[in-house]
């Protein structure tokens, strides 16, 4: 499906149906492999890699030369070749209505929902305001979190939305068992009911300022991963409390645990990367180690578990 974006002039590349999708010659691996979906700002793509093929650096071993993502990527998707797809900031995998989807957005202002692995655009919009995260609701509506000036937008179509102002909105996650939409901002973790609009029903101050990433803890359905400028936490929904978490560190852009292995994946910025808020290295905990993708600038990376 090709979708024309609202506000796009005829001189711009406004139809996303032509965006490239690349599959490795061998296709996707079996569902029991450890796959990672990453937002790569160097290639302006969302890329999929198999962790088992990464050049591995275990704890206490010498560094190894990373392999180029172009050699390891099983799948990739790129948005339009204009400023709206500058600095890819999110990559999420979801299942909806029996099909597989990838959600992505970019600092340049574009947010999309594409079919996986076909890469066909089902929905796209330009909310602007530095989109940092995106979520798909069970009814097919899409929520985008934009960091500046700070808001959540709940879209019923590419052109119709309601907005909730939220300073520094960086992460958004749908909590299916509780039918709540969670969002992390500069100073709080907030839960919303998603009806005709977004109604806040709980707001908890963050232990440290600068909320960034937000995701479910696969091993504990009651908990959420929450990162801030300084630390990584797990938030217990039932008790309403934060606790220190494995993989702690400052400035972590994304973190999550693998439902099958329990291994934790985090993205730590590297000041030597051409984009110092990004990295070329995926950092793992339990077991500890790292895998490097040369010539990438990874902003976020998440486990992709195909049920």
Q: What is the pLDDT of residue 10?
A: 29
Look up residue 159 and give its DSSP letter: S
What percentage of the chain has pLDDT greater than the value 90?
74
**Domains of the chain by residue range:** 20-25+32-304
Tell me which of 35-49, 50-64, 152-166 is least confident.
50-64
- Tokens at residue 196, please? 């005709």
For 108-136, write each residue's pLDDT tens digit.
999 999 999 999 999 999 999 999 999 99
* SS3 assignment, position 51: helix
* Per-residue pLDDT, 52: 81
Tokens of 136: 């798909």
Helix (H) or strand (E) holding 71: helix 69-72
CB-based contact 301:295 (threshold 8 Å): no
Residues 6 or more apart in contact with residue 61 via CB below 8 angstroms: none
Both tokens of 57, joined, read 């650096």
- As assigned by CATH, the class of the 20-25+32-304 domain is mainly beta
**Cis preceding-peptide flag for 117 (omega within 30 of 0):** yes
pTM of the model: 0.90
Give Cα 90 to chain centroid, integer Å: 3
Quick: pLDDT tens for 11-53.
233 435 445 566 666 667 666 568 999 999 999 999 999 888 8
Side-chain-side CA neighbours of residue 153 (13 Å): 26
As a whole number, mean pLDDT of residues 197-220 equals: 98
pLDDT computed for residue 67 by the predictor:
56
Q: Which residues pair with 22 in a beta bridge?
A: 76
Q: What angle do CA 255, 227, 67 make, to 5 degrees?
A: 35
158 pLDDT higher than 90: no
All residues at 6 or more sequence positions from 258 whose CB lies less than 8 Å from its CB, including other chains: 34, 218, 264, 265, 303, 305
């Amino acid at each position: 499906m090709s979708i024309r974006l609202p506000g796009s002039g005829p001189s711009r590349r406004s139809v996303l149906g032509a965006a490239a999708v690349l599959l490795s010659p061998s296709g996707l691996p079996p569902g029991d492999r450890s796959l990672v979906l990453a937002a790569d700002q160097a290639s302006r793509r969302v890329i999929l890699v198999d962790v088992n093929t990464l050049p591995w650096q275990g704890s206490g071993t010498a560094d190894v030369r990373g392999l180029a993502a172009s050699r390891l990527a099983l799948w990739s998707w790129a948005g339009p070749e204009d400023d709206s797809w500058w600095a890819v900031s999110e990559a999420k995998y979801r299942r909806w209505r029996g099909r597989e989807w990838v959600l992505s957005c970019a600092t340049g202002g574009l947010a999309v929902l594409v079919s996986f692995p076909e890469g066909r655009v089902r929905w796209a919009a330009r909310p602007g305001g530095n989109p940092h995260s995106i979520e798909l609701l069970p009814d097919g509506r899409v929520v985008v979190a934009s960091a500046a000036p700070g808001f959540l937008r709940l879209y019923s179509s590419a052109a119709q939305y309601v907005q909730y102002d939220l300073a520094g909105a960086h992460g958004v996650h749908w909590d299916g068992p509780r039918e709540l939409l969670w969002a992390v901002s500069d100073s709080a973790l907030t839960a919303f009911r998603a009806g005709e609009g977004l109604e806040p029903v709980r707001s908890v101050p963050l232990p440290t300022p600068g909320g960034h990433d937000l995701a479910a803890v696969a091993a504990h359905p009651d908990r959420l991963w929450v990162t801030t400028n300084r630390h990584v936490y797990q938030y217990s929904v039932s008790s309403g409390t934060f606790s220190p978490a494995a993989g702690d560190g400052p400035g972590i852009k994304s973190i999550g645990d693998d439902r099958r292995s329990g291994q934790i994946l985090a993205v730590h910025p590297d000041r030597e990367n051409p984009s110092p808020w990004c990295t070329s290295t995926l950092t793992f905990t339990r077991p500890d180690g790292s895998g490097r993708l040369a010539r990438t600038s990874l902003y976020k990376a998440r486990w992709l578990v195909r049920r």
